[in-house]
Amino acid sequence: MMKLLAADGIDPQIQAHYRLITSVGDTIGMHTHDFFELFLILKGNVYHIINGTRQLLQENALVFIRDRDVHYYERAGEGDCQFINLSFYREVIDDLFAFLGQGFPSEKLFEPELPPTIRLTKTEKEYVRYRLDQLNLIPSEQKYAIKSQVRALLTDLFSRYISMAEAEYGGSESPEWLAALCAEAKKKEHFTRGTVALVELSHKSHAYLCRMFKKHLGISPTRFINELRLSYAENLLLNTDMTILDITLETGLENVSYFYDLFKRRHDMTPYRYRQCGKIVPSH
């Protein structure tokens, strides 16, 4: 089996390499490497054979390949596939995770057998493509400028998308649509509308969602949504001067008593007390 080395194909000053792959025929056979990759499917579908598992990846899929993964690509039927690949040194990912800190789920990205994968919306795909294409606008001799922009881009992509990838939602046995739904539901415009947003986004019945959430995540759709609402409320309590009533409404809840009940069950204290404790500055 072929092993690709960063030293052979990635500029050591930039520590990253970006390329557009216009056909599955332009890829190589089974291989591994000592560096990391992100790839984004721009057009078409492709079979991704990864760590012995055959996956069908569709347009808009964003995948994080670890340095231990073994993979290659095959055509899906008669169609072809176009995708973007960004390869980067281990040092880049180590620095990135150190910068994002303990709150970023870096360990969860390495635990599953299959690599973290997320299905972006069309708008999100175009945003990622735009950010990647901007690298080509920097003159090639400005290597440190390119290196800086690559790191800024990866910080954006990992914090915005990869942190919500499938590895966080039930692992390799979780259906792709459920992983994508959970990631999409993290957006404020969705979780503030409640479970009705889950039904609309998934095009599945509420009863079916209840069964799938319980089976793969161990919780109900309502609890999933309320956990997102409470996390959002916690940040508003600590980082704004909004009243508790306004925060309740901002999360999509209309009943302040219900909000208090949910909050006390999670923190064993009222929202007001949580805000006061958060404002206590420890002495040095």
The neighbour count for residue 208, using CB atoms within 10 Å, is 11
Contact 250, 236 (CB under 8 A): yes
* Top-level class of domain 2-169: mainly beta
Low-confidence ranges of the chain (pLDDT < 70): 166-174, 279-284
- Tell me the CA distances in angstroms from 133 to 26, 69, 153, one per residue in order: 20, 26, 11
CA–chain centroid gap for 7, Å, is 28
CA–chain centroid gap for 226, Å, is 20
Q: Which letter does DSSP use for residue 3 in this model?
A: E
Predicted confidence at residue 171, as pLDDT, reads 42
Strands 81-88 and 36-44: antiparallel
Which one of 1.10.10.60, 1.10.3210.10, 3.40.718.10, 3.40.50.10470 gives the CATH number of domain 187-278? 1.10.10.60
Predicted confidence at residue 146, as pLDDT, reads 94
Predicted confidence at residue 141, as pLDDT, reads 93
- Residue reference for tokens 């909004």: 242
- Written as one string, the DSSP assignment of 99-167 is HH-TTS-TGGGTSSSSPPEEE--HHHHHHHHHHHHGGGGS-TT-HHHHHHHHHHHHHHHHHHTGGGSGG
Label residue 256 left, alpha or beta by phi (over 0 means left) and psi (-120 to 50 means alpha). alpha
Helix (H, G, I), strand (E, B) or coil at 87: strand
Predicted confidence at residue 174, as pLDDT, reads 66
- Written as one string, the DSSP assignment of 5-28 is -HHHHS-TTT-EEEEEE--GGGS-
**Helices and strands: H and E segment counts in the chain:** 12, 10
Predicted confidence at residue 192, as pLDDT, reads 96
CATH 2.60.120.280 domain range(s) in the chain: 2-169
The two tokens of residue 246 are: 């306004």
CATH 1.10.10.60 domain range(s) in the chain: 187-278
Distance, CA of 64 to CA of 48 (rounded, Å) = 13
pTM confidence score: 0.63
Contact 199, 213 (CB under 8 A): no
Distance, CA of 256 to CA of 253 (rounded, Å) = 7
Average pLDDT value over all residues in the chain = 89
Distance, CA of 252 to CA of 193 (rounded, Å) = 6
